[in-house]
Amino acid sequence: MAEIVSLGEAIAATVHDGDTVAMEGFTHLIPHAAGHEVIRQRRRDLTLVRMTPDIIYDQMIGAGCASKLVFSWAGNPGVGSLHRFRDAFEHAWPTKLEIEEHSHAGMANRYAAGASGLPFALMRGYRGTSLASQTVGVAEVTCPFTGEILTAVAALRPDVAVIHAQRADRLGNVQYWGITGVQKECVLAAARSVITVEEIVDVLDPRPGAVVLPSWAISYVAAAPGGAHPSYALGYSVRDNDFYLAWDAVSRDRTAFTAWLDKYVYGAGDAPFPDSYLDPGDRVAP
Protein backbone atom coordinates (compact mmCIF):
# COMPACT_ATOMS: atom_id res chain seq x y z
CA MET A 1 0.00 0.00 0.00
CA ALA A 2 1.18 3.51 -0.74
CA GLU A 3 2.09 5.64 2.25
CA ILE A 4 0.75 9.17 2.16
CA VAL A 5 3.54 11.41 3.43
CA SER A 6 4.99 14.89 2.87
CA LEU A 7 6.92 15.51 -0.34
CA GLY A 8 10.15 15.93 1.65
CA GLU A 9 9.64 12.56 3.36
CA ALA A 10 8.78 10.82 0.08
CA ILE A 11 11.92 12.04 -1.67
CA ALA A 12 14.16 11.33 1.35
CA ALA A 13 12.81 7.77 1.53
CA THR A 14 13.26 6.96 -2.15
CA VAL A 15 15.94 9.04 -3.88
CA HIS A 16 19.54 8.34 -2.86
CA ASP A 17 22.85 9.55 -4.28
CA GLY A 18 23.83 7.49 -7.32
CA ASP A 19 20.27 6.29 -8.06
CA THR A 20 18.66 6.06 -11.48
CA VAL A 21 15.64 8.33 -11.29
CA ALA A 22 12.93 8.69 -13.94
CA MET A 23 10.60 11.69 -13.66
CA GLU A 24 7.98 11.50 -16.38
CA GLY A 25 5.06 13.54 -17.68
CA PHE A 26 4.88 14.31 -21.41
CA THR A 27 4.53 18.12 -21.42
CA HIS A 28 1.50 17.63 -19.12
CA LEU A 29 1.77 16.66 -15.40
CA ILE A 30 5.53 17.21 -15.08
CA PRO A 31 6.54 16.70 -11.42
CA HIS A 32 8.34 20.03 -10.92
CA ALA A 33 7.71 20.28 -7.16
CA ALA A 34 9.37 16.88 -6.70
CA GLY A 35 12.30 17.99 -8.87
CA HIS A 36 12.78 21.02 -6.62
CA GLU A 37 12.68 18.80 -3.55
CA VAL A 38 15.45 16.57 -4.98
CA ILE A 39 17.50 19.75 -5.55
CA ARG A 40 16.82 20.96 -1.97
CA GLN A 41 17.90 17.60 -0.55
CA ARG A 42 21.13 18.06 -2.54
CA ARG A 43 21.12 14.61 -4.14
CA ARG A 44 24.20 13.97 -6.29
CA ASP A 45 25.44 11.61 -9.00
CA LEU A 46 21.94 10.71 -10.21
CA THR A 47 21.29 9.07 -13.56
CA LEU A 48 18.28 11.06 -14.71
CA VAL A 49 15.97 9.34 -17.19
CA ARG A 50 13.26 11.17 -19.08
CA MET A 51 11.97 11.29 -22.67
CA THR A 52 11.85 15.10 -22.77
CA PRO A 53 14.22 16.52 -20.13
CA ASP A 54 12.90 20.10 -20.63
CA ILE A 55 12.91 22.66 -17.80
CA ILE A 56 12.64 20.20 -14.89
CA TYR A 57 15.93 18.46 -15.73
CA ASP A 58 17.54 21.72 -16.87
CA GLN A 59 17.04 22.88 -13.28
CA MET A 60 18.24 19.64 -11.69
CA ILE A 61 21.28 19.38 -13.99
CA GLY A 62 22.15 23.04 -13.36
CA ALA A 63 21.85 22.42 -9.61
CA GLY A 64 24.42 19.63 -9.86
CA CYS A 65 22.19 16.63 -9.13
CA ALA A 66 23.03 14.57 -12.22
CA SER A 67 26.05 12.76 -13.63
CA LYS A 68 24.19 11.10 -16.52
CA LEU A 69 21.14 11.86 -18.65
CA VAL A 70 19.15 9.25 -20.58
CA PHE A 71 16.72 10.96 -22.96
CA SER A 72 15.17 11.26 -26.40
CA TRP A 73 14.54 15.01 -26.89
CA ALA A 74 16.38 17.66 -24.85
CA GLY A 75 14.88 21.04 -25.67
CA ASN A 76 12.61 23.74 -24.27
CA PRO A 77 9.43 22.89 -26.25
CA GLY A 78 8.51 25.60 -28.73
CA VAL A 79 11.29 27.86 -27.38
CA GLY A 80 14.80 26.48 -28.03
CA SER A 81 17.78 25.00 -26.22
CA LEU A 82 18.11 23.75 -22.68
CA HIS A 83 21.02 25.96 -21.66
CA ARG A 84 21.85 24.31 -18.32
CA PHE A 85 21.89 20.89 -20.01
CA ARG A 86 24.17 22.18 -22.77
CA ASP A 87 26.47 23.95 -20.31
CA ALA A 88 26.86 20.71 -18.35
CA PHE A 89 27.36 18.54 -21.43
CA GLU A 90 29.63 20.96 -23.31
CA HIS A 91 31.51 22.63 -20.41
CA ALA A 92 31.02 20.27 -17.43
CA TRP A 93 29.31 23.05 -15.41
CA PRO A 94 28.57 22.61 -12.56
CA THR A 95 29.70 19.01 -13.08
CA LYS A 96 30.40 16.57 -15.90
CA LEU A 97 27.34 15.10 -17.61
CA GLU A 98 27.37 11.87 -19.59
CA ILE A 99 24.54 11.26 -22.07
CA GLU A 100 22.70 8.30 -23.57
CA GLU A 101 20.12 9.19 -26.19
CA HIS A 102 17.31 7.41 -27.98
CA SER A 103 14.21 8.12 -30.01
CA HIS A 104 10.83 8.71 -28.33
CA ALA A 105 9.54 5.36 -29.61
CA GLY A 106 12.69 3.69 -28.29
CA MET A 107 12.31 5.20 -24.81
CA ALA A 108 8.57 4.43 -24.66
CA ASN A 109 9.27 0.81 -25.57
CA ARG A 110 12.12 0.56 -23.06
CA TYR A 111 9.75 1.64 -20.28
CA ALA A 112 7.09 -0.79 -21.56
CA ALA A 113 9.62 -3.64 -21.43
CA GLY A 114 10.52 -2.67 -17.85
CA ALA A 115 6.86 -2.57 -16.85
CA SER A 116 6.27 -5.95 -18.54
CA GLY A 117 9.13 -7.67 -16.72
CA LEU A 118 10.91 -8.33 -20.01
CA PRO A 119 14.62 -7.77 -20.75
CA PHE A 120 13.86 -5.90 -23.97
CA ALA A 121 11.08 -4.64 -26.21
CA LEU A 122 10.68 -5.26 -29.90
CA MET A 123 10.06 -2.48 -32.39
CA ARG A 124 10.76 -1.16 -35.83
CA GLY A 125 13.21 1.67 -35.39
CA TYR A 126 16.76 3.06 -35.37
CA ARG A 127 17.67 1.22 -38.61
CA GLY A 128 19.80 3.33 -40.91
CA THR A 129 20.26 6.09 -38.32
CA SER A 130 23.50 7.20 -36.65
CA LEU A 131 21.76 6.80 -33.29
CA ALA A 132 21.95 3.02 -33.54
CA SER A 133 25.76 3.07 -33.37
CA GLN A 134 26.14 5.98 -30.91
CA THR A 135 23.91 4.71 -28.14
CA VAL A 136 23.64 1.56 -26.02
CA GLY A 137 20.82 -0.89 -25.47
CA VAL A 138 19.83 -1.15 -29.16
CA ALA A 139 20.38 -4.32 -31.18
CA GLU A 140 19.09 -6.05 -34.30
CA VAL A 141 17.17 -9.28 -33.81
CA THR A 142 15.70 -11.70 -36.32
CA CYS A 143 12.03 -12.58 -36.09
CA PRO A 144 11.79 -16.35 -35.41
CA PHE A 145 8.60 -16.57 -37.48
CA THR A 146 9.26 -14.43 -40.56
CA GLY A 147 13.02 -13.92 -40.59
CA GLU A 148 12.53 -10.16 -40.68
CA ILE A 149 15.19 -8.03 -38.98
CA LEU A 150 13.70 -5.98 -36.15
CA THR A 151 15.10 -3.78 -33.39
CA ALA A 152 15.42 -4.79 -29.75
CA VAL A 153 15.71 -2.06 -27.12
CA ALA A 154 16.86 -2.84 -23.58
CA ALA A 155 14.36 -2.47 -20.73
CA LEU A 156 14.53 0.58 -18.48
CA ARG A 157 14.32 -0.31 -14.80
CA PRO A 158 14.75 2.90 -12.80
CA ASP A 159 15.39 2.76 -9.05
CA VAL A 160 12.75 5.44 -8.63
CA ALA A 161 9.85 6.73 -10.75
CA VAL A 162 8.42 10.16 -9.93
CA ILE A 163 5.21 11.46 -11.53
CA HIS A 164 2.53 14.07 -10.84
CA ALA A 165 -1.20 13.30 -10.98
CA GLN A 166 -4.46 15.14 -10.48
CA ARG A 167 -5.81 13.20 -7.50
CA ALA A 168 -5.37 10.45 -4.96
CA ASP A 169 -7.82 9.06 -2.43
CA ARG A 170 -6.99 8.56 1.24
CA LEU A 171 -5.89 4.97 0.58
CA GLY A 172 -3.31 6.18 -1.93
CA ASN A 173 -5.04 5.13 -5.14
CA VAL A 174 -4.03 7.63 -7.84
CA GLN A 175 -6.01 8.99 -10.80
CA TYR A 176 -4.83 11.14 -13.72
CA TRP A 177 -6.23 12.11 -17.09
CA GLY A 178 -5.62 14.24 -20.18
CA ILE A 179 -2.28 13.53 -21.88
CA THR A 180 -1.23 10.44 -19.93
CA GLY A 181 2.21 10.04 -21.54
CA VAL A 182 4.40 7.17 -20.40
CA GLN A 183 3.77 7.50 -16.66
CA LYS A 184 2.06 4.15 -16.08
CA GLU A 185 4.94 2.29 -17.73
CA CYS A 186 7.48 4.40 -15.83
CA VAL A 187 5.93 3.64 -12.42
CA LEU A 188 5.51 -0.08 -13.13
CA ALA A 189 9.10 -0.36 -14.46
CA ALA A 190 10.65 1.20 -11.33
CA ALA A 191 11.61 -0.41 -8.02
CA ARG A 192 10.16 2.50 -6.01
CA SER A 193 7.74 5.31 -6.85
CA VAL A 194 6.64 8.73 -5.68
CA ILE A 195 3.45 10.30 -6.98
CA THR A 196 2.65 13.91 -6.17
CA VAL A 197 -0.98 15.01 -6.54
CA GLU A 198 -2.98 18.21 -6.84
CA GLU A 199 -5.33 17.05 -4.09
CA ILE A 200 -6.23 14.13 -1.87
CA VAL A 201 -9.96 13.38 -1.93
CA ASP A 202 -12.33 11.01 -0.14
CA VAL A 203 -13.49 9.24 -3.29
CA LEU A 204 -12.07 9.09 -6.82
CA ASP A 205 -15.05 9.81 -9.10
CA PRO A 206 -14.76 7.79 -12.30
CA ARG A 207 -13.64 9.96 -15.22
CA PRO A 208 -13.61 9.12 -18.95
CA GLY A 209 -10.13 8.30 -20.16
CA ALA A 210 -8.56 8.43 -16.71
CA VAL A 211 -5.76 6.12 -15.62
CA VAL A 212 -6.01 4.71 -12.11
CA LEU A 213 -2.91 3.31 -10.44
CA PRO A 214 -3.87 1.21 -7.42
CA SER A 215 -2.32 2.06 -4.08
CA TRP A 216 -0.59 -1.34 -3.83
CA ALA A 217 1.47 -0.58 -6.96
CA ILE A 218 2.83 2.72 -5.55
CA SER A 219 5.39 3.43 -2.79
CA TYR A 220 4.56 7.00 -1.72
CA VAL A 221 1.90 9.61 -2.43
CA ALA A 222 2.42 13.26 -1.47
CA ALA A 223 0.18 16.29 -1.90
CA ALA A 224 1.82 19.05 -3.99
CA PRO A 225 -0.89 21.42 -5.21
CA GLY A 226 0.40 23.39 -8.20
CA GLY A 227 3.34 21.00 -8.27
CA ALA A 228 3.40 20.65 -12.05
CA HIS A 229 4.04 24.36 -12.67
CA PRO A 230 5.12 25.61 -15.25
CA SER A 231 3.67 22.44 -16.78
CA TYR A 232 0.01 21.90 -15.96
CA ALA A 233 -2.57 19.54 -14.54
CA LEU A 234 -5.63 19.39 -16.81
CA GLY A 235 -8.67 20.53 -14.88
CA TYR A 236 -6.53 22.28 -12.23
CA SER A 237 -4.12 24.58 -14.06
CA VAL A 238 -3.01 25.71 -17.51
CA ARG A 239 0.45 25.46 -19.03
CA ASP A 240 2.40 28.61 -18.17
CA ASN A 241 3.80 29.23 -21.64
CA ASP A 242 5.21 32.61 -20.54
CA PHE A 243 7.41 30.80 -18.02
CA TYR A 244 8.79 28.50 -20.73
CA LEU A 245 9.58 31.55 -22.86
CA ALA A 246 11.14 33.44 -19.93
CA TRP A 247 13.22 30.43 -18.86
CA ASP A 248 15.39 30.91 -21.94
CA ALA A 249 16.96 34.09 -20.55
CA VAL A 250 17.23 32.88 -16.95
CA SER A 251 18.87 29.59 -17.90
CA ARG A 252 21.26 31.13 -20.44
CA ASP A 253 23.31 32.77 -17.71
CA ARG A 254 24.95 30.91 -14.80
CA THR A 255 24.55 33.82 -12.40
CA ALA A 256 20.90 34.45 -13.26
CA PHE A 257 20.20 30.74 -12.94
CA THR A 258 21.93 30.47 -9.58
CA ALA A 259 20.03 33.47 -8.25
CA TRP A 260 16.77 31.94 -9.49
CA LEU A 261 17.61 28.65 -7.79
CA ASP A 262 18.49 30.39 -4.51
CA LYS A 263 15.26 32.34 -4.45
CA TYR A 264 12.71 29.86 -5.73
CA VAL A 265 14.11 26.45 -4.79
CA TYR A 266 16.56 26.70 -1.86
CA GLY A 267 14.72 29.70 -0.48
CA ALA A 268 11.31 28.11 -0.72
CA GLY A 269 11.58 25.95 2.41
CA ASP A 270 8.89 23.34 2.77
CA ALA A 271 6.43 25.12 0.51
CA PRO A 272 7.40 24.09 -3.01
CA PHE A 273 5.53 26.89 -4.69
CA PRO A 274 5.25 30.08 -2.63
CA ASP A 275 2.56 32.53 -3.70
CA SER A 276 5.11 34.86 -5.22
CA TYR A 277 6.31 32.12 -7.57
CA LEU A 278 2.86 31.84 -9.04
CA ASP A 279 2.34 35.59 -9.18
CA PRO A 280 2.34 36.44 -12.89
CA GLY A 281 4.43 39.55 -12.20
CA ASP A 282 7.18 37.63 -10.41
CA ARG A 283 7.44 34.23 -11.97
CA VAL A 284 10.98 34.26 -13.15
CA ALA A 285 12.90 37.39 -12.34
CA PRO A 286 15.41 36.69 -9.58
Partner 1 sequence: MTYTPDEMMTVAAARALRDGMTCFVGIGLPSEAANLARATHAPNLVLIYESGTIGARPGALPLSIGDGILAETAESVVSVPEIFNYWLQPGRIDVGFLGAAQLDKLNNINTTVIGPDYCVPRVRLPGAGGTPEIAAACREVIVVLRHSLRAFVEQVDFVTSVGFGEGPGSRERLGLAGAGPRRIITDLGVLQPDPDTCEFVLTGIYPGTSIADVAGKTGWDLQISADLRVLPPPSEFELAALRGLLAGTVR
35 closest CA partner among 5, 63, 67, 60: 60
Residue 1 contacts partner 1 per CB under 8 A: no
The binding track of 106-145 with respect to partner 1, each residue x by CB under 8 A or -, is --xx-xx----------xxxxxxxxx--x-----------
Cα–Cα–Cα angle for 97, 99, 105, rounded to 5 degrees: 150
Work out how close the CB of 179 gets to partner 1 at its nearest, in angstroms, rounded to a whole number: 5
- Measure the CA–CA gap between 143 and 145, rounded to whole angstroms: 5
Which of residues 42, 241, 262, 285 is near partner 1 by CB under 8 A? Answer: 241
Work out how close the CB of 134 gets to partner 1 at its nearest, in angstroms, rounded to a whole number: 5
- Measure the CA–CA gap between 30 and 54, rounded to whole angstroms: 10
CB 187 within 8 A of CB 161: yes
The binding track of 36-75 with respect to partner 1, each residue x by CB under 8 A or -, is ---------------xx------------------xxxxx
192 closest CA partner among 160, 163, 155: 160
The binding track of 218-237 with respect to partner 1, each residue x by CB under 8 A or -, is --------------x-x---
Q: Among residues 19 and 227, whose Cβ is nearest to partner 1?
A: 227
Which of residues 81, 137, 274, 282 is near partner 1 by CB under 8 A? Answer: 81
Q: Among residues 209 and 269, whose Cβ is nearest to partner 1?
A: 209
Name the β-bridge partners of 199.
167
- Measure the CA–CA gap between 261 and 141, rounded to whole angstroms: 46
Binding segment (CB under 8 A) for partner 1, from list 179-187, 196-204, 219-227, 248-256 = 179-187
Q: Among residues 142 and 170, whose Cβ is nearest to partner 1?
A: 142
Residues 6+ apart with CB under 8 A from 281: none
* Strands, E assignment, the chain: 3-4, 20-23, 46-49, 66-71, 98-101, 120-123, 138-142, 149-154, 160-169, 174-176, 192-201, 211-213, 220-223
- Measure the CA–CA gap between 192 and 110, rounded to whole angstroms: 17
Which of residues 206, 209, 269, 280 is near partner 1 by CB under 8 A? Answer: 209
Report the interface residues with partner 1, using CB under 8 A.
Answer: 26-28, 51-52, 71-75, 77-79, 81-82, 86, 89-90, 101-105, 108-109, 111-112, 123-131, 134, 148-149, 178-182, 184-185, 209, 232, 234, 238-239, 241-242, 244
